[in-house]
């Protein structure tokens, strides 16, 4: 078997009529001092499977126990570089990288119900993704019922017992179909951010009992945890699910997923209004719905984890506020988030007579932002490291408590102190409002690169304050026209730059070798 590639053991045994979900089947894989315990699953028609994701080369011995017994060993070797086998994505500091240390910057898109469509549309969606810049997809395990999303899926996750879903009898056809989609994404190098629950439902999946929720998760984890490209999103808009689940239920779900995943994939929870508590130990990154992007640098400092703005509205023309921003604005939101040291997710919602909107069903992209997101992604991948916030600026003052003010002022440069005193006399709401109106979008890769996004500002001139320890090449970037032009070279320290005086301008200062 290959390092970072899912392997599978298949056995024949008793044909089960009931209780498929919690079949007594487990395995232990051992390589030297390292031991990994996994659960197997029933795959229908007397077929039993155990899946394993090797994260270490060498000889792995395995022993299967429970409803059947077997043992053996497999030699795990490293794959070829061109195979793209890097392992699961991990949160490291406030950024992401693969298991093998390769940097990963998520540029995501949302296609909630992509795997609940007819096969021709799914194939069209994958053909579109093959040409798109996106390396992460948010998608639901359960089908979705919402505006522009009223079709019936071909498969459901469980069989029925009369009118009630029998969580103990998973639909094998559903899981084969779903896994085929995950495997296609994996082959394309795309992460699957799996939404485990959501409130947009007419079938009854959102109102399962907590015992049924955990039984479903147990089977899902047995089947899917060995996929290297999965992330766990506990819910889409978890706070809209609270009619059927409590916060305590979600905390139990979070703990269950984290403790039953042998490979500890990325885990978070998506909000509508109220953030999940991203400081919780099981939570690897912040997954946030917001249109107020000026707070991104504040949240990075608050959570000290990667921040992903997984919903900031969608490019489109539907009547809903969240689905009717322009391609120019979608592009701008990506630049705002990325220069703040965080990560952004795209979506698209153009009206269609057949109700085929990318954000729900996929098919083809119609908007103007994807190719500009591709331009930004290529630039980010050229940089010498991940982007961190250049400065929290006034957000530091906006978030401090009254009892901290005197200390903060005492440590502040004198020329800034009188302004800061006036700022601190405002209430917290007014402070944050001011920060939103006077925000500068800028980030850096240590001292090796500085990226400034002027957004709506139409400056014809600016002064950059660069370190004296390097010389820099200065580029002017038109984020809409997708052009890069070298303006200066061999400069350092305080540098005056002439700008084109138009919105959507960015400046890159890159240290010269």
CATH 2.60.40.3950 domain extents, the chain = 440-513
pLDDT at 389: 87
What letters, b where the CB count within 10 A reaches 16 and e where it falls short, cover 442-457?
bbbbeebbbbbbbbee
Domain 105-382 adopts which CATH fold? TIM Barrel (3.20.20)
Mean pLDDT of the chain: 94
pLDDT at 374: 98
Q: H-type helices in 339-453, by residue range?
A: 358-361, 369-382, 394-399, 405-410, 414-424, 428-437
Distance CA 214, CA 245 (A): 12
Distance CA 203, CA 187 (A): 32
pLDDT(196) > 80:
yes
What's the predicted TM-score (pTM) here? 0.93
pLDDT digits (tens, 9 = 90+) for 182-194: 999 999 999 999 9
pLDDT digits (tens, 9 = 90+) for 334-392: 999 999 999 999 999 999 999 999 999 999 999 999 999 999 999 999 999 999 985 44
pLDDT at 431: 64
pLDDT digits (tens, 9 = 90+) for 67-89: 999 999 999 999 887 888 999 99
CB atoms within 10 A of CB 164: 10
3-class SS at 471?
coil
Class in CATH terms, 440-513: mainly beta
pLDDT at 414: 72
pLDDT at 437: 59
CATH 3.20.20.80 domain extents, the chain = 105-382
Q: What is the DSSP-derived secondary structure letter of residue 5? A: S
pLDDT at 54: 98
pLDDT at 18: 83
- The CATH superfamily of 7-79 is Immunoglobulins (2.60.40.10)
CATH 2.60.40.10 domain extents, the chain = 7-79
């Amino acid at each position: 078997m290959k390092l970072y590639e899912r392997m599978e053991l298949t056995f024949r045994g008793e044909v089960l009529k009931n209780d498929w979900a919690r079949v007594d089947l487990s395995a232990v894989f051992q390589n030297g001092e390292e031991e990994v315990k996994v659960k197997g699953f029933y795959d229908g028609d007397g077929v039993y499977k155990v899946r394993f994701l090797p994260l270490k080369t060498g000889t792995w011995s395995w022993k299967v126990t429970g409803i059947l017994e077997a043992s053996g060993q497999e030699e795990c070797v490293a794959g070829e570089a061109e195979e793209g086998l890097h392992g699961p994505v991990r949160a490291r500091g406030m950024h992401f990288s693969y298991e093998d240390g390769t940097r990963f910057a998520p540029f995501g898109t949302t296609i909630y119900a992509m795997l609940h469509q007819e096969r021709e549309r799914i194939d069209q969606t994958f053909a579109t993704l093959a040409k798109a810049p996106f390396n992460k997809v948010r998608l639901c395990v359960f089908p979705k019922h919402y505006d522009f999303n009223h079709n019936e899926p071909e498969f459901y996750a469980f069989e029925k017992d009369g009118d009630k879903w029998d969580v103990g009898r998973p639909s094998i056809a559903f899981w084969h179909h779903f896994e085929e989609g995950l495997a296609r994404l994996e082959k394309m190098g795309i992460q699957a951010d799996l939404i485990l629950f959501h409130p947009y439902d007419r079938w009854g999946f959102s109102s399962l009992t907590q015992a049924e929720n955990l039984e479903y998760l147990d089977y899902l984890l047995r089947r899917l945890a060995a996929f290297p490209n999965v992330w766990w999103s506990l819910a889409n808009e978890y706070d809209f699910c609270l009619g059927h689940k409590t916060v305590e239920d979600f905390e139990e779900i979070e703990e269950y997923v984290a403790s039953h995943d042998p490979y500890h994939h990325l885990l978070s929870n998506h909000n509508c209004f109220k953030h999940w508590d991203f400081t919780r130990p099981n939570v690897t990154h912040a997954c946030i719905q917001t249109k107020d992007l000026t707070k991104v640098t504040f949240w990075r400092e608050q959570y000290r984890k990667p921040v992903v703005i997984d919903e900031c509205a969608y490019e489109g023309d539907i009547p809903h506020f969240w689905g009717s921003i322009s391609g120019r604005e979608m592009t701008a939101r990506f630049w705002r988030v990325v220069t703040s040291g965080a990560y952004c997710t795209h979506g698209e919602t153009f009206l269609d007579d057949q109700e085929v909107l990318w954000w729900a069903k996929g098919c083809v992209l119609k908007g103007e932002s994807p190719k500009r997101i591709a331009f930004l992604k290529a630039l980010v991948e050229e940089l010498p490291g991940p982007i961190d916030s250049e400065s929290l600026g006034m957000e530091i003052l906006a978030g401090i408590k009254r009892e901290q003010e005197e200390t903060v002022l005492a440590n502040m440069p004198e020329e800034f102190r009188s302004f800061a005193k006036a700022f601190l006399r405002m209430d917290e709401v007014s402070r944050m409002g001011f920060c939103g109106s006077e925000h500068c979008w800028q980030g850096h890769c240590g001292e090796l690169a500085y990226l400034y996004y002027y957004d709506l500002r139409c400056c014809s001139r600016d002064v950059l304050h660069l370190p004296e320890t390097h010389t820099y090449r200065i580029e002017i970037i038109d984020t809409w026209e997708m052009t890069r032009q070298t303006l200066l070279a061999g400069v350092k320290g305080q540098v005056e730059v002439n700008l084109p005086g138009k919105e959507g301008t960015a400046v890159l200062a890159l240290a010269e070798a």
